[in-house]
Amino acid sequence: MMSDHLSDATIQALVDDELPETLRAAAEAHLASCAQCREAVASLASVAETVAETAPEDCHFCASGQFWDRLSCRLSRVADRESPYAVMALIPPLLLGAAGLAIWLISWVVTIVTLLTWAGVIPPLGGLLADMAALHRTSLHTPILLRWFLDAVVALAGTIRSSSANWPSAARSIVRFGLVQGLLSLSLAITVALFAVWAACMPDCQPTGGGTAA
């Protein structure tokens, strides 16, 4: 724009009603006598008005309630993820699952040791424990409390040996196996049941609250 005409910035500020009062009077006085600047102002105002008229109205978009329903669903998911207590809900089933897994592993160790003992591959563990305990319980270097404990182990091993001496080895193995596997199955069943209860208590994706927006 030439210096004897209004600058682009002035024309724009005039169209947008952003020109300070002090400059506005001078600009309007210039416009009264300058057809070129009047045309520039009218042209810019026309563009601004044309764009403003294409602004979408409410009817272009989904209803307010529908918008809120979708949003509140997303917000509830965000809130659950952010809450430190959300992790707490996972702890009981995870602990039970870990306990179930531990029992399952122990049951296999016990089963394998029992079968190896029955097959004569390794000596009976009860006997081994009793022998070890007998070795140390009389030693003067063994602390008194440990000696009392070893006495109890020896007594217990003796009781087990005398009470089960008449059982066929295979039957004993089967009973132990069944007992351990039964415990394992029970713990797994409890874990699964708790998982199911936990899943049922999880908040589902339904709109909640926000009555003002609906």
Partner 1 sequence: MEEEKQYEGQLVRRANRGDLDAFGEIVERYRLRVLRTAHGIVGSSDEAEDVAQEVFVKAWQALDSFRPGGSLGSWLYRITVNAAIDATRRRRPQVNLDDIAPPPSEQYTERSVLDAEEAERVRRAVRHLPPASRAALVLREYEQLSYAEIAEVLDVPMGTVMSRLHYARQSLKDALSSQDLNHDV
The residue ranges that bind partner 1 (CB under 8 A) are: 8-9, 12-13, 16, 18, 43-44, 47-48, 50-62, 64, 67-68, 70-72, 74-75, 78-79, 82, 208-214
- Of the two residues 1 and 135, which places its CB atom closer to partner 1 in the complex? 1
Residue 75 CB, nearest distance to partner 1 (Å)? 6
Evaluate whether 130 touches 157 at the Cβ level (below 8 Å). Answer: yes
- Of the two residues 68 and 173, which places its CB atom closer to partner 1 in the complex? 68
Q: What residues contact residue 1 under an 8 Å CB cut-off, 6+ apart? A: 7, 8, 11, 40
Residue 66 CB, nearest distance to partner 1 (Å)? 9
Residue 36 CB, nearest distance to partner 1 (Å)? 16
Distance separating alpha carbons of residues 202 and 89, to the nearest angstrom: 9
Residue 211 CB, nearest distance to partner 1 (Å)? 6
- Of the two residues 78 and 175, which places its CB atom closer to partner 1 in the complex? 78
Distance separating alpha carbons of residues 75 and 183, to the nearest angstrom: 42
Residue 205 CB, nearest distance to partner 1 (Å)? 14
Q: How far is CA 22 from CA 29, 192, 200, in A?
A: 12, 79, 70
SS3 45: helix
Evaluate whether 143 touches 69 at the Cβ level (below 8 Å). Answer: no
**Sign of the C-alpha dihedral, residues 6, 8, 9, 14?**
positive
- Of the two residues 75 and 183, which places its CB atom closer to partner 1 in the complex? 75
- Of the two residues 64 and 159, which places its CB atom closer to partner 1 in the complex? 64
